[in-house]
Amino acid sequence: MGVITARSRIVLDLVPPNEPANRPFGDAAAQRGAPRGWDLLGTVPVPLRHCVRDGIADLVARHRTGTGLPLKCCFPMGQGGHTPFERLRFIRALDDYPNMLVSSEHGNAFNRRFYQHHMVGGAFSGCQPQGVAPAFAEAGLVDPEGLIGVFAVAPFVLLIDHRRLNGLPAPRRWAELMDPLYRDQVVFSGWRRKDEGRHRQINTFFLLSMAKEFGLDGLARLVRNVPALLHSAQMPRLAGTDGSPGGIYVVPWSLAALCPRRSETEVVWPEDGALAYPLWLTVKTTHLTPLDVLIRHFHGPDLGRLLNDNRYPALCPEQAPALPAGARFRWLGWDFVRHPATAKLIAAVRQTFTDEEPRLCA
């Protein structure tokens, strides 16, 4: 899987708050629920979080030593409690927004008024470097407006449990997941407590991608083939075992590759493209110079190597991603995610899932 073995630097959050010179990250007891005042507010998928945070800590410490200029960073680790990310969508004033945002969140980073006034108004830049690999460019992952910079993707692929398929052919394209042949075989990510009748989280990105390509009728056919939802981390643990609820798992490539039962399972990169879930950043244009060290890090080769080694293909032009031969990506598209009508489609997608949810929770 790669190099997610770096030492933890959580100790940085235990330094007394009256010693700011030693604190690349803020005090855990400070107002961490407020986005205002951060040079960098960031998050990445959980499997990467410790190593990416450690790299930032080392970088800003060296920067402070070399220049005397501190950078105030917040990188919540998911230990519970409120984080500044929960407040982003309520911000109206530009000064209240972090100077640099790094995110793997699918939405809720901007409200529409803030987006139209400040993002469209030129207050932010994605700082995307030229020369990304063709697979990324062909999928349209480079923002034509230059507002968002994608520095890596989490590709969603298919983890096939041949034992559970019991002789059925493994699907090779996304449209095949809607075939009644695969009734009670398709598992995607979601989470709920055992005593709850509704899922607290579902993979809306996957459902929206399917609805965009195949319509709500196609999505309904797919959901009828779903026997259960699982947390993504459970999928490689169960695939190929007696407890496997389905034969086709929709799962990030980084997790699919962890499944140890290789004789029973197979990772399929769909012929029509893995679904590309972006890891992205945006920076206030007034702070491009003071934050250049962070911008170059996120778009640069050191982080690119870490991402590629752990199957989060990086868009860094200096690091060619190690992809399967002929691998393609599918991405919703910037025009689509920015269109006001997309919010209505998201609501319809969730309703399509909700209509089948009682069966899945029975």
C-beta separation of 234 from 246 below 8 A: no
R_g of the chain computed on alpha carbons: 21
Co-location of 77 and 117 in the same domain: yes
Same domain, 232 and 293: no
Question: Considering the domain boundaries, does residue 1 fall inside one?
Answer: no
In the predicted structure, residue 96 carries a pLDDT above the cut 80 = yes
Same domain, 23 and 132: yes
Which pLDDT belongs to residue 12? 30
Tell how strand 201-202 and strand 190-191 pair up: antiparallel
Tell me: do 28 and 93 sit in the same domain.
yes
Range of the domain at 299: 10-154+275-331
- pLDDT tens by residue, 165-188: 999 999 999 999 999 999 999 999
Q: Identify whether 217 is part of a domain.
A: yes
Mean per-residue pLDDT, 190-217: 93
Q: Is residue 298 domain-shared with residue 326, that is, in the same domain?
A: yes
Co-location of 269 and 280 in the same domain: no
Residues 142, 111 share a domain:
yes
Asked if pLDDT for residue 257 goes beyond 70, the answer is yes
Do 150 and 238 lie in one domain? The reply is no
Within a domain: residue 270?
Answer: yes
pTM strictly above 0.85: yes
**Are residues 291 and 239 part of one domain?**
no
Instruction: Give the residue among 71, 67, 102 at the shortest CA–CA distance from 84.
Output: 102
Q: Which two tokens stand for residue 172?
A: 């090779």
Burial 290-303 (b: 16+ CB within 10 A, else e): ebebbbebbbbeeb
In degrees and rounded to multiples of 5, residue 125 shows phi and psi of: -140, 145
Would residue 302 count as lying in a domain?
yes
Indicate if 41 and 125 belong to the same structural domain. Answer: yes
Hey, which of 16-30, 105-119, 185-199 has the most confident mean pLDDT? Answer: 185-199
> How many domains does the structure of the chain reveal?
2
CA distance 163 to 127: 46
Q: What are phi and psi of 339, to 5 degrees?
A: -75, 135
**Residue 3 domain-assigned (yes or no):** no
Answer yes or no: do 144 and 160 share one domain. Answer: no
Contact 155, 251 (CB under 8 A): no
If you average pLDDT over residues 10-29, what whole number do you get?
40
Residue 156's H or E segment, with its range, is: strand 149-161
pLDDT band at 78 (very low <50, low <70, confident <90, very high): confident
Same domain, 203 and 251: yes
Tell me the pLDDT of the chain averaged across its residues.
89
Note the pLDDT tens digit of each residue in 335-351.
Answer: 999 998 999 999 999 99
The CATH number linked to 288 is 3.40.190.10
Residue 339 lies in a domain: no
